[in-house]
Structure 1
Amino acid sequence: MARFNYLELPVRDVPAAKAFYAAAFGWTFTDFGPDYASTMTGDTDLGLNGDAEHSTAQLLPVIQVDDLEAAEASVRGAGGEITLPIFAFPGGRRFHFRDPAGHELSAMQADPATG
């Protein structure tokens, strides 16, 4: 089953973004290097991406899938454009795509070792 499980914000300053969301909403973040931090509630989480290579220009909705390669094939078959091929990150693998209306999204598959 595919479901939205993550929302990623492109940010220029990860520590400043973390400080804002902690002060505004009381959220805590886990750091994944100097350019990425994420809430880890297990529900719909928020990622703060300061990595220019893997960051999008806008908000990035992330859809969790059971089979990443099958999802990529389905996206292509439905007329989507792959904008960033499958890559690994701490916690799993994902790819970015643009739907026919021009929205950029991501599909991810969690690493079974991390959930």
Structure 2
Amino acid sequence: MGIRGKDRQIDNIEFNVNDISRSKTFYGSIFGWSFVDYGPTYIEFSDGRMTGGFTTGEPVRTGGPLVILYADDLDCTQLRLKAAGATISREVFSFPGGHRFHFIYPDGYELAVWSAS
């Protein structure tokens, strides 16, 4: 079992936004979410059950937020995805807290997988 104990589960949802402050005000006032700032381009939110983030580090996407799954072993997960017909859209990269990659599901949805290792 991995550090977080959530291997192959949805772990995070990331919204690419134009204005973090506006998003924080909007979701905080309407849904009561709490926030942790991680610098000028990223803020974590919590709805009390699940966490996610708002970022200005990527372009705003139409079609919804980026769903991020957790995996104990990124390489093994990437191989399983490729074997199942997924396309890797962004190779493994580092970020504060771990590594992640993005993939395109055969129906066209982009998701990401991250690991703390």
Q: TM-score, normalised by structure 1?
A: 0.83
1:71 to partner: Cα distance: 0.9
> 1:91-106 residue pairs with structure 2 within 5 A?
91-106=97-112
CA contact (8 A) 1:87 1:93 kept: yes
Provide, for residues 42-80 of structure 1, a one-character-per-residue CA deviation record: whole Å limited to 9, x for no partner.
95212112112xx56141111111111111111112111
Aligned-residue identity in percent: 34
Task: Give the letter aligned to residue 26 of structure 1.
Answer: G
SS at match of 1:70: helix
Q: What is the CA–CA distance in structure 2 between the aligned matches of 1:94 and 1:56, rounded to whole Å? A: 19
| Large movers: runs of 4+ above 2 Å | 39-44
1:10-31 deviations in whole A, cap 9, x for unaligned? 1110111111111112222122
Q: Is the 8 A contact 2:17 2:60 kept in 1?
A: no
Q: Which residue does 1:82 correspond to in 2?
A: 88
Counterpart of 1:18 in structure 2 is 24
Where do 5+ consecutive residues of structure 1 fail to align?
none
Aligned residues: CA RMSD? 2.0
What TM-score do the two structures reach when normalised by structure 2?
0.82
Instruction: Count the aligned residue pairs.
Output: 109
